């Protein structure tokens, strides 16, 4: 059985504690993932310009300077559909969900309010084969729910 290469994942969030929880959950689930924490969209765009393109990008919606929606638009201008973007936000507002879908994000995940919820969410999200195809669910399945 071939060994699957690790997912290269960027987590863009202005709260480093989110990264620490995310990293702990990935470790506990034993998912083969290389995570890179980036605290703003500008830094992430620079990395993309340098050719550092992950398999998957988790993007917080509410960030200073360049917000999540503007960040999606900038990514899509550069890479079209070569990068899967998962919105990873506390916002449950329907205009945020609809807007990010329209902007070109692949999935909208509401940050769980417990570590157990995070484990379940990440296990389900990583059950999707993000490397094989550009996953873009229909609008009614865009808001990820367990």
pLDDT of residue 86: 96
Cβ atoms within 10 A of the Cβ of 14, count? 14
Kindly state the greatest CA–CA separation across the chain: 46
Full-prediction pTM beyond 0.75?
yes
pLDDT of residue 82: 82
pLDDT tens per residue, range 114-135: 999 999 999 999 988 887 767 7
Residues of the chain with pLDDT under 50: 1-3
Angle between helices 68-79 and 94-103 (to 10 degrees): 10
How many angstroms separate the CA atoms of 103 and 116, rounded? Answer: 30
All structural domains of the chain: 7-128 (3.40.50.2300)
pLDDT of residue 5: 67
Q: Give how far Cα 41 sits from Cα of 5, 23, 69, 140, 141, Å.
A: 26, 20, 10, 27, 26
């Amino acid at each position: 059985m071939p060994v699957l290469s690790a997912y290269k994942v960027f987590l863009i969030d202005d709260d480093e504690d989110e990264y620490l929880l995310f990293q702990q959950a990935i470790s506990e689930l034993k998912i083969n993932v290389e995570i890179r924490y980036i605290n703003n969209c500008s830094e992430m765009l620079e990395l993309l310009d340098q050719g550092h393109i992950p398999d998957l990008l988790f993007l917080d919606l509410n960030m200073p300077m360049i917000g999540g929606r503007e960040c999606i638009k900038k990514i899509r201008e550069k890479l079209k559909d070569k990068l899967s973007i998962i919105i990873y936000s506390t916002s449950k507002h329907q205009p945020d969900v609809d807007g990010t879908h329209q902007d070109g994000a692949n999935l909208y995940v509401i940050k769980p309010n417990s570590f157990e919820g995070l484990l379940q969410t990440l296990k389900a999200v990583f059950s999707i084969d993000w490397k094989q195809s550009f996953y873009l669910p229909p609008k009614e399945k865009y808001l990820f729910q367990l």
